[in-house]
Amino acid sequence: MKAAPFDFVRATALSDVFAAFERHGDDARIVAGGQSLMPMMNMRLAAPRVLVDINHIAELNGVSETDGTLRIGALTRHQELGVNALVAEHAPLLTMASTHIAHPAIRNRGTFGGSLSHADPAAELPACAIASDAVINAVSSSRGERSIKAVDFFLGTFHTALEPDEILVSVDIPIIGAAERVAFDELARRQGDYALVGLAAKGTIEGKTFKDLRLVFFSVADRPILATETIATLEGKDYSPDTVTVAEAALEVDLQDIDSDLHTSAATKTHLARVLVGRVLAELAGEGRQ
């Protein structure tokens, strides 16, 4: 199908976005890469009266590093995340995750800010943001700028802490420490498909000992799940097959309320999550894939 008619605003500054929000309220909708919004509009699942194109707002671009923090602009494309040298050096989890997102033609348009704002429970980047302790920066004309921890940002399917008149401008990620490692894996039916289950992980590894792990599952519930029980169980433990077994058991607690979706039952998802935790712990411990 074709999208319903709408008016189009080509914003070149944040003030253009705020003006559109002020004038049109909820009828105005931001479009970034359009790789989630346009399909919804073409299927008439969304019909904004006014579309505000933010692709030409220069300050939403760019990746920079200052004082131990990597700042990634909202308009950074998935493709750029995958090849950017600063991202590879300071936030390699995003580099790893980027090639799992959709297909090349979609990665050329889709944006980091769009993926986080859209908050698809099966999306890779929200889970990576939580695993990386990211902070999301948003601006509105009435309240100015505020920062929201990634762990508090995702509230449900397509639902975030962003207010309707706010725009996500950038994401801050603490740069990876010398003793920290990251790992990412997902199971999908085909390359580029949304994951059946995925896992983004970060942690400090001393020898074979896990410390301060962040294990974040996605595509298991209405938002990414930080596996707190599994993380607590693994704290201070050495990597071994027994440790993996203990982690798998703890996972049952973290995932006890997970949902079946159209294609995959909760039991299958839990099984796949156990497979992933084994692989990812091995990778974090430098044991390669089991």
Partner 1 sequence: MSDTLTVNLTVNGEKVSRAIEPRRNLVDFLREDLQLTGSHVGCEHGVCGACTLRVNGEIVRGCLMLAVQAEGAVVETIEGVSDSGEIADLQEAFHERNALQCGFCTPGMLLAAADLLNANPGAGRDQIREHISGNYCRCTGYQAIVDAIEAVGRKRSGQSS
Q: Binds 105, which of partner 1, ligand FAD, none (CB < 5 to 8 A, cut-off by type)?
A: partner 1
Alpha carbons 132 and 34: distance in angstroms, whole number: 25
CB nearer to ligand FAD: pick between 167 and 244? 167
Q: Does 39 sit near partner 1 (CB under 8 A)?
A: yes
Out of 9, 123, 135, 197, the residue judged to bind ligand FAD by CB under 6 A: 123
CB nearer to partner 1: pick between 190 and 289? 190
Q: Does 61 sit near partner 1 (CB under 8 A)?
A: no
With beta carbons less than 8 A apart as the criterion, state whether 120 and 171 touch.
Answer: no
CB nearer to ligand FAD: pick between 40 and 246? 40
Q: Does 158 sit near partner 1 (CB under 8 A)?
A: no
Q: Binds 80, which of partner 1, ligand FAD, none (CB < 5 to 8 A, cut-off by type)?
A: none
- The window from 30-38, 141-149, 155-163, 278-286 that contacts partner 1 (CB under 8 A) reads 30-38
Q: What is the pairing mode between strands 135-140 and 144-149?
A: antiparallel
Q: Does 191 sit near partner 1 (CB under 8 A)?
A: yes
Please report, as residue ranges, which positions from 98 to 117 form the binding site for ligand FAD (by CB under 6 A). 101-102, 106, 110-111, 113-115, 117
Q: Binds 43, which of partner 1, ligand FAD, none (CB < 5 to 8 A, cut-off by type)?
A: partner 1
- The window from 31-39, 122-130, 195-203, 248-256 that contacts partner 1 (CB under 8 A) reads 31-39
CB nearer to ligand FAD: pick between 111 and 233? 111
Applying CB under 6 A, what is the total number of residues that bind ligand FAD?
A: 29
Out of 18, 21, 34, 220, the residue judged to bind ligand FAD by CB under 6 A: 34
Q: How far is the CB of 33 from partner 1 (least distance, A)?
A: 8
3-state secondary structure the chain: CCCCCCEEEECCCHHHHHHHHHHHHHHEEEECCCCCHHHHHHCCCCCCCEEEECCCCHHHCCEEEECCEEEEECCCEHHHHHHCHHHHHHCHHHHHHHCCCCCHHHHCCCEHHHHHHHCCCCCHHHHHHHHCCCEEEEEECCCEEEEEEHHHHEEECCEECCCCCCEEEEEEEECCCCCEEEEEEEECCCCCCCCCEEEEEEEEEECCEEEEEEEEEECCCCCCEECHHHHHHHCCCECCHHHHHHHHHHHHHHCCCCCCCCCCCHHHHHHHHHHHHHHHHHHHCCCCCC
Q: Does 129 sit near ligand FAD (CB under 6 A)?
A: no
Q: For residue 71, what are its two tokens?
A: 């700042």
| CA trace torsion 36, 138, 201, 203 (10° rounding) | 170
Q: Binds 194, which of partner 1, ligand FAD, none (CB < 5 to 8 A, cut-off by type)?
A: ligand FAD
Q: Does 33 sit near ligand FAD (CB under 6 A)?
A: yes
* Alpha-carbon distances of 73 from 168, 182, 194, 279, rounded to whole Å: 9, 22, 24, 31
Q: Binds 6, which of partner 1, ligand FAD, none (CB < 5 to 8 A, cut-off by type)?
A: partner 1
Give the binding site for ligand FAD (CB under 6 A). 29-37, 39, 74, 101-102, 106, 110-111, 113-115, 117-118, 120, 123-125, 162, 167-168, 194
